[in-house]
Structure 1
Amino acid sequence: MVVATPENYKNTSTLFTIGTVPHPFTMAVLTAFRDNIDVRWIRRESERDPWLAKITQVLLGTGVSGAPRVIKFKEAVASEHGRYHSLWVTPEKELPHDLDWAFGFSIPRNATDTGKSETPVPGPERRPKPEADLKDGPVASPEDMKKEQELLTRAVEFGRARSEQEEKLRGAIEAWNLADTEAWRFARAFLARSRVERLKWEEEEKSYAGGAGSERATSEGWGRWGDK
């Protein structure tokens, strides 16, 4: 199985897309690579809706406004094709705990020793470094990765509790990035709706599981494709 991290979304049945939809503030601090952005920086130095423009560039090209890009993104998330070929999450929250439901199979939670003898392999220091694929974007240094994690933590904290000044900053950055904000809100709402659908499905399926309830279905790895 090939895993890639392209910067553009491709609408094809041969790919399953796992997309991260950042809030405009998260996108801004990661783009500027600093956490002290202000309204002046937003209006004079930042682009409008940079995230949505980039991921839909292959589909719509350049010179297209935010409205048609939002429509195309919503199709990628919630259309009959999109909902079974993609999963869209937001970086400000932890990954959903019901990924088994999204993928249609049980995800191993703990790696266990199979007891099989394997051919010795060289240690990490002796293994050749994997070559980076230019299509996956630039490779971040350890220092940059640490900085990105700090900025993401700052973005998460910004979303939880804000001062009056930070509230104004949020309003300004959302107004400057209306399309990106709409995409972020839609992704969150659709993910929440999917969870409600799963809970409703488990409640309805209890009677077909010998009265054991959804806990038994989950523990036995039925997922949503289980044979009842």
Structure 2
Amino acid sequence: MNNTNVRVALITGGSGGIGRAVAERLAGDGIAVGVHYASSKSKADETVSAITSAGGKAIAVGGDVADEKDMSAAFDAVEMAFGGIDVVVNTAGIMLLSPIATLDLDDLDRMHRTNIRGTFVVSQQAARRVRSGGAIINFSTSVTRLQFPNYGAYAASKGAVEAMTLVLARELRGKDITVNAVAPGPTATPLFLSGKDETTIEHLSKAAPLERLGTPEDIAETVAFLAGPARWINGQVLFANGGLG
């Protein structure tokens, strides 16, 4: 563990949805949080304000996850504010749905840039900077093994995330840093709900044995486990989906 009293986390995509829930959950555990945003500084500031008003420590940091200079600067800012980084949670991602046969290849490239290159850039910085006793947590999706139609390109991008995550866990041998991925199932976030009609949402909400959609808080609990007490879970993909598959 680090030699300061406060653990520090950087959360990409921390301004909304799952990212915000993760930021607030980790702050509740006493972790100082860097809340990253790509474009919505106001939302990141709202998250920071919610954390600080509850007695926690947080700052907002901006940048494109796929730009190594932006991410280096974001990591620098968090280290400058709090003295180091112990946990990196990479929730930033985009989801563009289409049958493979008709997918606009520009959409494929956009997902590749954010979901694959972005995760790689953030993982690279994390591998260089996370302190001993720390944790790196990337985000996949349960669709990598559920094979829902229309999710082909998105699932492919997240399959790449799983691959690099599991390799990085082995590459950090001897550093006492865990590297895992969380793979949520259907979760009630704007990213998931956008573009779906009520019938589709109702069907998906009944698909898991627990017969509801996941919540951002459900996913944040899984992240908090990996970020804190789960020191013997390493090089794994945790499917947080209520038993869907």
> When the two structures are superposed, what TM-score results if normalisation uses the length of structure 1?
0.25
Higher helix share: 1
Structure having greater relative contact order (Cα 8 Å, sep ≥ 6): 1
